[in-house]
Amino acid sequence: MDKKNLKVLVVGEFDVINAAVKSAVDLYSVQCDVMSIEDAEEMIFEGDYTHIIVALERDDDREKGMLFYNLLKIRLPAWQKSAKLFKAGILNVAADDYIRVPTNIMDDIATKIILA
């Protein structure tokens, strides 16, 4: 698919992860929106996203992201949407639908600069 036709939505509850994923997508000059889980469904239903990345967050929020990812697996075909669905997280998972987010830089900035 031509890059100009790509439209990515990043969905997640943790702003830092969302921003990190969006920054990475932006590097490729691909259109990218960011949305919280709470507001994402109407955007997806009415939108024309080609790819959706659901951020699985750390600790407690991870479950929320996973539940939403599982719901989208059911709802995307029900809405006749063909967007490819991905999970993104900080674990070292090698799967076609998993995007690994390196968090070392964020951890170091947080602990060594911001919280120091």
Partner 1 sequence: MIKKIIVVEDKTEELEKACDLVMAKGFMPLACATNEDAVDTIKKYQDKGLVGILTDLHFPVREGGSPEGASGLHIVYKALMADISVVICSDIDHHKADWANDLIGAVEKATGKKVAGFVQDSKNWERALGLLLNETRED
The binding site for partner 1 (CB under 8 A) comprises: 38, 41-42, 45-46, 67, 70-71, 74-75, 77-80
| Cα separation, 109 vs 116, whole angstroms | 9
Nearest approach, Cβ of 83 to partner 1 (angstroms)?
15
Asked if 49 contacts 83 with a C-beta cutoff of 8 angstroms, the reply is yes
Measured from the CB atom, the residue of 67 and 93 that comes closer to partner 1 is 67
Measured from the CB atom, the residue of 38 and 107 that comes closer to partner 1 is 38
DSSP letter at 80 equals T
| Cα separation, 81 vs 25, whole angstroms | 21
Q: At 40, give phi and psi (nearest 5°).
A: -75, -35
Nearest approach, Cβ of 93 to partner 1 (angstroms)?
19
Nearest approach, Cβ of 15 to partner 1 (angstroms)?
21
Asked if 99 contacts 87 with a C-beta cutoff of 8 angstroms, the reply is yes
Measured from the CB atom, the residue of 7 and 64 that comes closer to partner 1 is 64
